[in-house]
Structures are given as C-alpha cells and as structure tokens.
Chains A and B, each alone.
Chain A
Amino acid sequence: MQNNQVWVGQKDLTNDQEFLNSIDREFKDDITTLEKAPELQGNRRDFLKMLGFGVTAATVAAGCDIPVKKALPYVTKPDSIIPGVATFYATTFVEGGDVEPILVKTREGRPIKIEGNDSLSKTGGTSARAQASVLSLYNIKRYRQPQLKDGTAFANSDWATIDKKVKDALKSGNKVKVITNTIVSPTSKKALASLSENYSGVSVITYDPVSYAGILDANLADFGKRAIPTYHFDKAKVIVSFDADFLGSWLPNGDVSADYIAGRDVSDVTAVKMSRHFQVESHMSLTGSNADNRVLVRPSQMGSAIAYLASKIVGGGNVQLPPTIKSKLDKVENQLRAAGSKGLVVSASNNSAEQQLVNAINHAIGAYGTTVSMNNANLSRQGDEADLGALITELKSNAIDVVIFNQCNPLYDYAGAAALANALTKVKTKIAIGYADNETNAVCDIIAPVNHYLESWGDAQPTEGTIYLQQPTISKIFDTRQLEEIIMGWTGDTTQAVDFLKTSWKTDRFATQSKYLSPTSFWENSLKKGGQVSTSGTAASYNGGGISGLISRVTKPSTSELEIKFFETSQMANGQSADNPWLMEMPDPVARTSWGNYLAVPVNFDGTRTMVGLNNLKDGDLVEVTVGDIKYTVPVIQQFGMHPETVALALGYGRSNSSPVANDVGVNVNASLPIVNGRAQYFSDRVSVTNQIGKEKSFSCVQYHHTYGVKGTDEATGETINADEAATVFVTYGAVQQGFQGAITDRSVIYNSNVKDLTDSVKHLKEKRGHAQYLNDQGMYPYEEYMEDKYSQGHHWGMHVDLNSCTGCGACTVACMAENNVPVVGKREVSRHHEMTWLRIDRYYYGDVENPNVVYQPMMCQHCDNAPCENVCPVNATNHSSEGLNQMTYNRCVGTRYCANNCPYKVRRFNWMDYTTADLFPANQPAMGLDTEIPFYGDDLTRMVLNPDVTVRVRGVIEKCSFCVQRLQEGKLTAKKEGRRLQDSDVKTACAAACNTDAITFGDMNNKGGDLSKKLKSPLNYIALEEINVKSSVTYTMKVNNRDITLDA
C-alpha cells in the first residue's frame, strides 16, 4: 500500500492493484519461462564445445599473417593541408645545368608529381627527367646522414663531426679544389665564393658530364662571351643540325621543342608553314628522327662536313669529302642560302674550330638576331673538362690538399676517369657533397649528404635574362643539408638557407625589375610564380675572322673500316639519374630499348627478305666491341638510319657504384672517349665489332617490329618494294619472295605524306576514311542513334594526338607512370614483354630503307565507344561510362586476359606478377631483375611517391589508361563547387600536361568551342583502325614531312 505522497504515475497515485502487484514482481515474466527460451538452452558440455570451437577458430584465424600497413593520422593538422586535396608549389627542377620551371603536386605533405609551370615555360611541359625526379626524392639508397670513411667502408656520422673535420682540412694555406658540374644558381655560386673568401687557396673547377667546351670556346673567341646562344627554331625556315640532338639531349630542350614544333605548322593544310630540317649525323638521334632529311656522314667526317658547308657559304678553303656527301651538302647550302636570316645551323661538335665555322655560317646568312641570339645567352653549360686534365697534373705533383666534389661524378663521366682516380689517391682529404652513392663519392673520405632539390631553397639562371626560384615542397626527410647550408656550415655562417636566398634575391634581383615596389612583395610574388623572367642580357657581336685557319683545325676524316659514335639518350643523359627506375625502364625513344645500352648497328635490306645487320648481327645478339684497348660485351640492336660504317653506343649506363637499379646495367663507355686537346670527343675510329658471340638473356626492347613501309630494291626484279613487308616472310616454301606487299602500309595505323603531296594525301585519306565509314554504317545498330542516346548530354571525353607535334621525347610516358602508379617491372620482365606502361610511343621507320623518316605514335587506350574489350569480359570488369570512358574495375577483374587479346591497339596491361607488392603473397614479387631483395614499391620510402587517388593494382588483373579519370573527377568537383560547367581546358591528362609541344589535346568532344573541337577539324585527322568500327575516341593526324627528295638521288 502506498501511503506516501511520492508517486510516479497515475496508477501509483490511485493505488491500482495491478500496479501494486507488479511492483512486487520486478521481473514481470516468470524467470522459469526465460530458462526455457530455446536460444538459452545449453549446458556445460555445450559451453565446452563452443569454447573449444572458438579457441580453435581464433587460433587458426590468428595464424594467418595479415601484413601491418601503417597509416597515421595527423595529431595536429597543419592549416595549409586539407587531406585529399593536392597543393601545388612552384619550384624549379635543376640537374646539372638542366633547368625547368615546374609545379610540384603534393598530397598530405608528400610531393607526388611534377607538372610544368606554364606561366614560365612556353607550353607548360616538362622533360622525362624532370617528371622522374620526384622519384629520386624517395631514392632508398640516398644518404640519410653524414658519412665518414672508416677504413674502406663508410660509417654514419653527424654534421658536427664532419663540419669540424672539413674545417680542419680547409684551413688556410691548404690548396683546395672544388669540382662541380655547371652551377646555374647565382646563390650557390655566391655560397661557393664565400668559401674562397673564408679560406685561401680554394678554386672551383667546372666541367659538364657531356662536354660543351667546344661551343663555349668558339663563342668566347667569336663573341667574347663564354656562353651558348639561345636558338629560335620557331623563326627558322631551314634548320641544319650537325649532330646536335636539340630535341633530345643537347641542352635543356623544353622550349626548344616547343619552338621547333611551332615552326612546323600544318594546322592549315592549304598553307602549311613548315621549316625544313636537315640533320647531318652518323647515327639515328631523336632529333634526326624528327628531321626531314638526314645526311649520313661518318662521325669523323662531321668536321669536314661543317667545313665544306662553311666554305661554300662563307667562301674560301678547300675541303675533301666524298662526292655524294658533297652533292647533298650543296643542296643544303642552296636552301640555307635561300633562307638567309631564316636559316639556322647548330652543331654539337666539341671541337671549337668546327663550332667557330658554324658561327661563321650563321653570321654569313644573317642568322644572328633572328634565329640565333647571343644577347640573352644560355648559361646551362659552363664547364670545361680540360681543367680536369690540368687538375690531374696538379694532383700528381702533390699540389692539392683537399678536393671537394659537389654533386658530380667525374670518376664515372669524365673521359679520363681512370687517370683522375689514380691521381686522387695522392689527395689527403676528399670530400663529397653528394646525394647517393656514386663512383666518385666512393673514393671520398667525408660525405656531406645534400638535399633533394624538392627539399631545398634555391634559384636557377638558365639564361642571362631568366631566373627561377626553388622552394622546398617537403621538409627534409633525412638529416641532410642543401649545398648553401653545407658550405655555410664550413664557413661558420649560421644564416638559414632561405634567408641567404632571400637576401641575395633582394639585393641582387630586386633592382633588376620595376614591377614590384617592395622587396617583400617582389619576393613573395616571385616565389608564388616560380621565378622572374626579364629579357635583358648582355649584347654581344660577332667578331670572327676568316675561316681558312679554322678549316685546317677541323677533325680529319678517318679511313678506318668502322667508327663508333657515343651519344646521350634523352632519358639517361650521362648517367646522372641512372638510379631512377622510371628512367631506366623508360624505353629509349629511338631504339625502344630499356635497361641498358645496346650497340646500334647499321642494317640493310638484302634484296630478298632479310634485314641484315652489320656482321649479320640480329637484335639481341651479344657481341664484343673493342674501342681502343677496352673491350665491351654488349647486346645489339639493328638500327635503321645509321651510316653504314658506324656503330653507336649510348653513354650513361654501366654504373658500378650506384644503386642496384643502375649497377652493371649496360656498359660504361666514358672511358673510351678520346681526349683531344683536353676535350672529350664523342666518337672513335679505333673500334672493331665481333660477330655474334651469344644471345642477350634479357633483351629488353619493347618493340620488335620497327618499320611501317621502308622501301628497298628487290634483288630479283629491281623494283622498289616495301622491304619490311618482304621481311615478314620467314619461310617461302619456294613461293613468296617479296612478302605480302601492302601487308603493313595498307593498314590504317599511320598515314604520312610529304608536304608537296599533301593535297593528294588528304584526298586519299578522305577516301580511305569514307570507305571505312561506309562499312561501319552497314551495321545493325546505327551508331548515330546510340551516340545521341548516350553521349549527347554531359561530357564525351576524347583525345587528339598530333603526330606532327610529337617529337617522341617520352616525357608523357613517365608522366603517366608517375600519375597512375604504373609499376616498374625490371629488365627481365621487360624482356618478356611484360612492361606495364599505359602509354607508349610506337616508333616506325618509313621511306628509304637506308635513310628513313620516322613517325612517333603515342598509343594509349583509345576509349572506344564500341569497345571490343568490354563485351568479352565475362565478369563485367571493364565497362563504359556515360562520358565515353572505357573503365576498368580492378577488384572485379578475374584476369582472363580476353580483353587484352581482343584489343586491336594492344594497350591493355596484365599484372603478370605482383609488381607493386599489393598482393598478400610475397612469393610472386619479381625483383627488378637486379636487386633480389627489394621489388619496386617494396619499401615505405618509395611508396611515398604513390598517387593516393589511383588504386595500386594487385597481380592478376588487367589495367590500362583511364584518361586520368581521377583528374576528371577532381575537375568536375571543382567546377561543381564553383557552380559552373566544366570546360575541357580545366582538366588535362598527365600526358597532355607533360607534353612540351602540345601534341596531345584532351577534352570534351561535346564542347564545340573547346580546344579539342578545334583540333578535330583538321582534314589530316584520322582514327587508327577506323574500319574495325570500334569507335575510338582518340584521333591522330597524318604525319607530314618536308623531305627534299632531290637529296635522295
């Protein structure tokens, strides 16, 4: 009975009996009924059973080793970082003298991608090496702290210790040599100068891994300025290049390529403005492959060829040359003369007399001021390796106490490396300011580890009137310092690098401009933009004299049976970035080989059905090459367009003391470079090549068939036939001898034309396309209706690739690897055709079999609207988006490879093994063929370069170009947030962004006023393999060359 006045409800207040009863029974239901609940029935034995099962199951489950993946959240999130949103910083790529203004994409504080800075460069493109440089930041073999040599091996040390040791060594009175590659940073130079100010006896030797001393000396003689001119290829009508690979590896070439392509404008087919480019060379260089005509001379005849042209144009002198070369050069001379000031002659010769002859020609035709300028000279090469020769003499006389190597590797890339190494043993203290192991650092006593450029403040001055800024994009990963800080540590200056740079910027650069009123706003705006460009440079005028004295100083042609040409490839240069896996795996644009240097041998058609290489050598044969006294065992690649008495071998390979990526990959030929007057010469006539001595086990060439209709003479009939088509025959059964003529050239993969035949070619193309379209229209399902239905709304993504703009440099392929986490597979896997590149550049030779032209065709997924890959996938892993993208769903893919088989373009890539270490099994991760310990992406440092927006693919699935769908999504999101429609210029795929020549245009085909639509109007456009009706979304243009066929006679 409730008598108190505290009640909790009406029933409580009224003392309802039922309620009162229920209070007595707190548990309303009979507890006994609960016990009968079936789910609770059980007894001790059941409990034990469950326990037993549970423990066993847990034990079994726990026995499976699930790898621990680390992902740490921010404890305190920096204000400037929004997770998932990329931040871009403007900075500058510097490697030796090569300079490119870039933007660095960082995600959560990690630099992951390099983009061009289009506010400072002509097209906002980059080189392959700049693209790859972000991976070098995460080089697992880079120095992590100062090193001191202890006996023969290095031991970890710290800055205080090494600073003290260095200071002791530098004490005044000691003779100190600083050896460096070209330094383009005024601030770095200032820092080096401060070293000389603090210690007496310090002097600096500058040399370049590939020497430009000849041209520098020539300009010193002719202009009083030791610099390289800037060239304006866009203004040139006739370009004559003597071996200068200006589109490939000769000088930094970003804007050069853009200019060159600007001078070859085929956008209006009725009024083509196209320069004519003659390349005089002995082997097929990247630039030569883009040339209209190539005049093949032996390397040792190059000087005579220059001299002959000079003698014809300037007058005077008598030059001996074979009449065939003379007659060709006569024609070159006529055209050059006709072009007048619109002509341009360049040469890569390292003989200053030859370079002075080039200057004389340019002067005589009036090129200075239009196509060549010494006023705003190029500062990217300043070295002279003759100084190294002199140093050896000094070293031998025990005159040097300390040698400091600043981020250079003369014991690898200097022609006299052996002598230098020998002489260096006499030096007491050898100090290296270095980034990672190399041949030179290995002999040093102290290693001062230097920052990556993405961790550093700095500046760079590629030409007199241009200066770019560097800013760090990540805090230092390891205990390293940038060059200025290292030197200031030795001079006792405690200024921070950033302050040092700021000061020099404010004091030296502020005065040169008038736009900004305060030094601070000048600094901040410059930093934001990436640098400052002014047009001022010091004027210089030609003061050269007669040429007859020069002609006597050119290289004498050799009469040896064979000569060898040493050349730089655009990706490897002279081995500075050989330890970068992306560059190692990037195929050489011309030879299409990767992971090593291959002896390029001339090839000819035997008149029946074989392409015969020198000494009957075939692709992948091993030979022994003897240059001077040194023997090399190298694999062979048959190279079209070689002078028949020349073989060629690339520099930059065969590192011996670098990372496992580079060590013993290929051979180092630097030691075979002859030194003439202290200058390295990049050819030799003391060469012999054996017959085949074996087969290369891992012949990593990514293209086995190289030609698209090279013409030769049929031995039996004397008719001109397509030699490569004849060579597709392996056995004749006594029947077909000439192959199936038309087998390759009748395909709709490549169209090419001479400028002169352009009207006819356009007509022919129209007919071919009309025929294909007629066939395609006979289908059961009218494509127009489908298109209207599917793609008339929203976006319809497409791409245009201008084969006339593509120089084949390969920057796009590396950009694609970086953007899309494309794995590196290593030499063995490449040799098995397991390369994973989403974007490749097919290279074909066409025309004269002995002296062909070249076309480069970037080939990526064509995003067919009627895709053959999609309908054959049994599990719907590849399908089509409403915006016309052919999509891959990796986690749905079973890996039947049917789609890859059915892809006419062969752009689908299968993860044959676990290239990314994304799989649970550790057993199927191939090492890169070199270091059996670590597969690529196998360590946390390298994985920092991964783009978090792109899935890392597991083994067993297919992958392919996605048109950078992650960028599309990001662009759409940005547009949506800004409340507008996405314009096609808002989004660029990684390949299009990286292209220096804007050869790739990506966009929305539904945007009628957009960039892509404009490109799609050209009558030169075609769709590769149009007749198979796959409705590809990528359009190519016909390749137009300006070959002068009179030279072929």
Chain B
Amino acid sequence: MSSYVSPIREPLITGSKSYHDITEDLVSPTEKVPSASWVIGFVLAISALAVGLFCIAWTIWHGIGTWNLNRTVGWGWDITNFVWWIGIGHAGTLISAILLLFRQKWRTGVNRAAEAMTIFAVICAALFPGIHVGRAWVVFYFFPYPNTRGPLWPNFNSPLLWDLFAISTYFTVSLLFWYTGLVPDFATVRDRAKGFRKKIYNFLSFGWTGAAKHWQRWEYLSLVLAGVATPLVLSVHTIVSFDFATSVIPGWHTTIFPPYFVAGAIFSGFAMVLTLMIVTRKILNLQDYITIAHIESMNKVILATGTIVGVAYLTELFIAWYSGYVYEQFAFFNRALGPYWWSYFGMMACNVITPQFFWFRKIRRSIFWTFLLSIVVNIGMWFERFVIIATTLARDYLPSSWSYYSPTWVEMGIYLGTFGLFFTFYLLFTRVAPVVAIAEVKSILKSSGNQYSGKAEPGHHHAHVTVDPHFKSYLNKSSYDYARDDKGNLSYGSTAPSRTSRLVEDEGEKSSTASTLASTASTLAADDLKKIEGIGPKIAEALNASGITTFAQLSETTTERLQEILDTSEGNYKGNNPESWAMQAKLAADGNWDELKDLQERLDGGKFA
C-alpha cells in the first residue's frame, strides 16, 4: 500500500488534522468576510492594474515611441517581462504534472496555488506580445485563420508564431488542469454553502456528486492532463528560447538556450511559488498544510535548478571563449564588463550565488531566508532576461549602431500593471477557491499526517515502527467504498479519498476511530515532556492535547507552532518562551541527557539567557 511512509520522512500535514479540520481550514477563507490585509492588498493590486491599463492605453494611442526602445534595441522591458512572466508560470505546471507523475506527495500542499499562479502569470505574459507590436489592432494577422488575402498565412518559420501556439496550448492545458482539480473542491464548498452561493458553486462543480465513477474519471483525466502538460513544461520555454536561439545575433544564437531557459523558468517559478505561499500560509493560517517540509522541498528544487542555470551561464562563457568567434566572445565580454555590467552582476549574484545558500539546512528551513532568497531569485531571473535581451541588442555586430536603452515611465507602468493584474487575480482566487487542494491533501493525510507518521518512538529507542493493532483494523475497516460527509452522514460529497489510493474513506468527526487512534498512539509513545525546562504539567498537557507527546515530535515543532499552542490553550503562559524547547527535545529524543543538562544549566526558565 502506498500509504507506507519511511519513518524518517517528515509529516506533510501537521497539527493532527482530522478530515473535518482540513475541510474547515481550507474552505473557511472563502466563507469569511475578507480580512483587512486582504482588502488593502486588493486595493493596491487594483491600483497597480489601473496604472498598467493607463500605460497600455497610452502606448496604443501614442505609439511605441512612448517607450525608449530604439533602432538598435527593438525589445526591452516588454519582452523581458514577457519571458519573465512565462518563466514564473512554470513551477505550477511542474508541480501539478511532473510531480504528480512522480508521486511526490508534498505537491498536494502547493499545487493549487502554483497552478493558479501559472495561469495568472501566463495571462500577464501574453499581454506583452499583444501590446508591444507597432499596430496592435492588426495583431490578428498572427493567427492562421481562413482569409480572403490569397489566402495569406502566417510565416510558419517564425519562432514568434511557434510562441503563439506554444503559449496558447500551455494556457489551455494549464487552465483545464487547474479547473479539473478544482471541481471536487468546489463541490465541497458547495456542500457547505447556502443560497445563491450554493448555486454558483453547484454550477462551478459541474454537478459533482463524489460518486466512485466521478472519482475514477477524475483520476484518469488528471493523469491524462498530467501527461499532456509534462511535455509542455519543457516545450513552452524551449520555444520561447527559440525566439532568441534561432536568430543570428551573438549572445542569442546559442544552442544551450532551450534547457537553460527551462531550468531558469522552473527556478524562477519555484521562487515565485515560495514568495506567494509564504505570505499565503501566514495570512490564511495554512502552516499545517504548507509546512517547513514543503518549503524545504521547494528550496531543494531551487537549489538544483539554480545550479543548472549557473552551469549554463558558465558554459556560455566557456563556449564563447572556445568558439574563437569574436562576436560571441565580445557579446559575453560586454555583458560582464560593458555598460550593462550591473545587470550581469545582478544576474550572477542573484541566480548563481544566492541559491547556493540552500545547501545549508537551516537556511532551507528558515522562513525568513527562504522568503528573502525567493525574492532575490525573482529579481535575478528578471535580470537574466534583461541581460539576454537588452544588453545583447545594445552592442551587436556593427559598432556604429551600438546604443543604450533605459525604460520610460510607460514601460515601467506596464510592468507594474502586470503585477496588479497578477495579484488581483490571485487575491480573488484566494477568496473563491480553496488555496490548497482539499481532496488531494485529504488523500495523503493518512500517510503523511503527523499523527500517522514520523518518529513516533519514545525516548532514545530507535528504529522500529510498530503499527498499532487498532490502526490495522482501522485500515481494514476503512476499505469500504463509500464516503461520509463531515456530519457523518453517508453522502456523495467531496470529503473524499485520494487520487492515488482512492479507497480510504473518512469517518468524520463523529467517528471515534481517529481520535482513539491518536490517543492510543500517544499513550503508547508518550515521553515525560516535563523534563524539558520551561514545561510544566499544564503545558505538557496542552502539548499532549495538540498531539505532541514525544520528545521527537516536540523537537520537530517550530517555535511559532508551540507559541500558538500556548496562546490557544487555557491558562496564562505569557511568561513561557518555547524557543529552546525543540532544541532540548532534540537532545532528549537522541538520548543526549548530559548535553541536555549542560544546556539547561545555561537556560533561564527555558529561555536563552
């Protein structure tokens, strides 16, 4: 059974969530009145969008001459932003398609938001080819539609045309994939909704009943779409890179571009996912679903792709030297040492050096550093596209035509506008759809929920995992092919099993099995948490109630989470600071009692002196 999880693997869902908790946590943001921070964010986003729309109108009315592009540099911020946004989208597709095929369970926590991000990013990107042309009103010439001009077809040799097909396909598949995933979740929302809202969600959920056949078809559709989307992860940015690679301009004319662009896209995409998710999980209180483990996984992807990108940069430099071709050599010389040296430096620093910090586990698992570095990576990847586009064009073959380019307020305004567009969509998305895929998260609860997995061993005894007989019987018992809703009634709702195992069902809150199981597990494995300096009997009780019963569990719990437990428990624990508890618990769990003693001597009531 796929639910077996290696004991060293961290739980992907913490907080001992029940199925009902998951539904509550994930659906409630769509049901509550928006928070003040959401409203502020939305107003800012709409304002930025308004600025962007004004600048676009300005461009179309007054001509591309309102931008600072010139006879030498025909593309600047427009195409830089286009490629950047397209790249941002890649993480969503990678997470939803490739990680699905690879059965990566941690994808369930972030795939929904990442896919949404893909769609919004592609919309932002697709804006630029439309408005950067000189005559936006005849942009339909791009499309191979039957016409009376000969018929006159577009030029199928042109990479721009390939782009059109690649991006429209990408957009369509991503949208389908995203929406397919949303259908059961919309049904969940519908089941909880009333009145007109219920009607809307009823429509959006396409009459989903949770029937086995639905689930089966849904699984197949997901699989098919994943199969279709997987090549798209590679093809879209490959084709975008062809815009440059098929040209004759030194610095563009490079065969390394397709893999390098794809790696760069995933790199920037994950960075953007992280930027967004770190904010989202905080604001929507999703720390239990998007855990440090998720963040760490994504940081590993960033580290890998960032390193690929770094190797690509160095390969380019090497090949330029090795080719003996003066134009190529100068193009790279000029990038590094020419008038745009700052953008090359920015690119190298942000994309090659900073991701290397993720070799350190502490940084990988630090919210602060991850957030900071994800933004740095986004900036770096923007610089990369700027370096490739503007600095290459600014000094190409004929020295007589060398030029310099810096944007006007109109170009900057349009870029700002795409942020507005993106965040407007994203903020609306957080209001209308569950930000985390409910059905998918539920499907991994039993295998990756913290109460079911992880190191459930007492004290310093290691290794063997004993499966509680109750749990076994539970698994057997639950192999029924029906589902119950949150109220325990048998229903065709959506609080349903997984894409992968399909059969596990949920007894809901009224079923005592889960809680019995949890309490049984805790009785069996409980450590005396009072051995941790700063934890008294009351706190120990509170921790136990929150599912933390062993030193091992305590050592894995973040300080924030502990503080949260303290805050939500009865009693006044204002004087208690849990910052050292995990460290102490770690030592206790590992059996390093002497070291723990030393540490406790240095502590003052559990606080660092």
Residues in A lying within 8 Å of B, measured CB to CB = 703-705, 707-708, 728-733, 735-736, 739-740, 742-744, 746-747, 749, 829, 832-835, 840, 842-844, 857, 859, 868, 871-876, 892-898, 900-902, 904-906, 908-914, 921, 923-924, 926, 954-958, 1025, 1028, 1030
Contacts and interface: CB of A to CB of B under 8 A. Distances in A.
Interface of B: 61-65, 68-72, 74-75, 129, 132-135, 138-139, 141-142, 152-155, 157-161, 164, 243, 246-249, 326-327, 329-330, 333-334, 336-339, 341-342, 345, 393, 395-404
Given A705-B400, A735-B337, A897-B134, 14 more contacts: A703-B400, A703-B401, A733-B336, A736-B337, A742-B326, A749-B398, A833-B70, A871-B155, A875-B142, A898-B243, A908-B71, A909-B71, A923-B62, A957-B134
Contacts of B400: 703, 705, 840, 842-844, 857, 859
A840 B71 CA distance: 13
A8 B153 CA distance: 59
A901 B76 CA distance: 11
A910 B68 CA distance: 13
B154 A747 contact: no
A708 B399 contact: yes
B396 A906 contact: yes
15 contacts: A707-B399, A731-B345, A834-B71, A875-B141, A895-B135, A900-B71, A900-B74, A902-B248, A904-B397, A906-B401, A912-B64, A912-B65, A926-B65, A956-B63, A1025-B397
Given A704-B403, A834-B65, A874 B71 contact: no
A731 B341 CA distance: 7
A610 to B, nearest CB: 13
B330 to A, nearest CB: 4
Given A868-B247, A1028-B248, A874 B398 contact: no
A480 B342 CA distance: 62
B337 A733 contact: yes
Contacts of B74: 897-898, 900-901, 910
A904 B401 CA distance: 10
Contacts of A733: 336-337, 345
Given A833-B70, A871-B158, A894 B139 contact: yes
Contacts of A871: 155, 157-158, 246
Contacts of B159: 872
A730 B394 CA distance: 14
A901 B393 contact: yes
A727 to B, nearest CB: 11
Contact of B247 (A901, A958, A1025): A901
A746 B326 contact: yes
Contacts of A832: 68, 70
A159 B401 CA distance: 53
Given A868-B247, A875-B142, A743 B398 contact: no
A829 B138 CA distance: 25
A906 B392 CA distance: 13
B64 A842 contact: no
Nearest to B400: A842
A730 B65 contact: no
Contacts of A875: 141-142, 154-155
A908 to B, nearest CB: 8
Given A894-B138, A904-B397, A957-B135, A868 B154 contact: no
8 interchain residue pairs of minimum CB distance: A895-B134, A956-B134, A912-B65, A833-B70, A897-B74, A842-B400, A913-B65, A906-B401
Contacts of B152: 876, 892
A588 to B, nearest CB: 15
A895 B247 CA distance: 17
A572 to B, nearest CB: 22
B135 A904 contact: no
A439 to B, nearest CB: 34
A825 B161 CA distance: 32
Nearest to B340: A730
Contact of B134 (A743, A908, A955): A955
Contacts of A843: 400
A740 B401 CA distance: 19
B240 to A, nearest CB: 13
B134 A872 contact: no
A639 to B, nearest CB: 16
B337 A896 contact: no
Contact of A895 (B72, B133, B248): B133
Contacts of B64: 895, 910, 912, 956
A749 B339 CA distance: 22
Nearest to A837: B71
A895 B134 CA distance: 4
Contacts of A901: 74-75, 247, 249, 393
B142 A874 contact: yes
Contacts of A954: 135
Contact of A730 (B132, B330, B341): B341
Q: Which of A747, A872, A914 has the most CB of B within 10 A?
A: A872
Nearest to A900: B74
B337 A923 contact: no
Point out which of A731, A739, A842, A911 has the most chain B C-beta atoms below 10 A from its C-beta. Answer: A731
A904 B398 contact: yes
A7 B589 CA distance: 127
A849 to B, nearest CB: 15
Contacts of B249: 901-902, 904
Contacts of B393: 901
Contacts of B157: 871-872
Contacts of A705: 399-400, 402
A842 B398 CA distance: 9
A829 B134 contact: no
Nearest to A709: B399
A958 B71 CA distance: 10
B403 A956 contact: no
B72 A906 contact: yes
A536 B158 CA distance: 66
Contacts of B338: 728-730
Nearest to A958: B134
A735 B338 CA distance: 13
A896 B62 CA distance: 16
B62 A913 contact: yes
Contacts of B68: 832
A707, A896, A901: most-surrounded residue (chain B CB, <10 A): A901
Contacts of B329: 740, 743
Nearest to B247: A902
B399 A874 contact: no
Nearest to A742: B326
Given A833-B72, A844-B400, A924-B62, A740 B330 contact: yes
A525 to B, nearest CB: 47
A132 B97 CA distance: 65
B135 A876 contact: no
Contacts of A872: 157-160, 246-247
A765 to B, nearest CB: 16
Contacts of B129: 896
A335 B374 CA distance: 72
Contact of A904 (B61, B326, B396, B404): B396
A735 B401 CA distance: 27
Nearest to A835: B71
Given A874-B164, A906-B71, A911 B134 contact: yes
B472 to A, nearest CB: 63
B398 A898 contact: no
A898 B69 CA distance: 13
A912 B164 contact: no
B132 A896 contact: yes
Contacts of A729: 337-338
Contact of A744 (B61, B75, B134, B399): B399
Contacts of B138: 894
Given A910-B134, A956-B134, A1030-B248, A894 B72 contact: no
Contacts of A910: 64, 71, 74, 134
B134 A874 contact: no
